[in-house]
Amino acid sequence: MRLEGKVALITGGATGIGAACALRFAQEGARVAIADINREGGLRTAEACGGHFIECDTGQAERCRAAVAETVACYGRLDILVNAAAHLGGYHDAAAMPEHEWRAVLGVTLDGVFYCAKYAAQAMFKGGGGAIISIASVEGMLGAAGHAAYVTGKSALFGLTRSMAIDFGTRGIRVNAVSPGIIDAGRPDIERLKLDPTVMRFWRDMTVLDRMGRPEEVAAAVLFLASDDASYITGQNLAVDGGWTIGHPPLRLAAKDNEL
Asked if 137 contacts 190 with a C-beta cutoff of 8 angstroms, the reply is no
Superfamily of domain 7-257: NAD(P)-binding Rossmann-like Domain (3.40.50.720)
Domain coordinates in residue numbering, the chain:
7-257
Which pLDDT value is given to residue 251? 66
CA distance 233 to 85: 23
Which pLDDT value is given to residue 23? 98
Which pLDDT value is given to residue 113? 98
Tell me the C-alpha to C-alpha distance, in Å, between residue 161 and each of 4, 125, 132, 164.
25, 17, 9, 5
Which pLDDT value is given to residue 252? 63
Which pLDDT value is given to residue 146? 74
CA distance 117 to 122: 9
Which pLDDT value is given to residue 144? 82
Residues of the chain with confidence (pLDDT) below 70: 248-260
CA distance 208 to 89: 28
CA distance 78 to 11: 14
CA distance 123 to 246: 37
Which pLDDT value is given to residue 206? 82
Q: What angle do CA 14, 177, 219 make, to 5 degrees?
A: 45
Residues taking part in catalysis: 150
Which pLDDT value is given to residue 247? 82
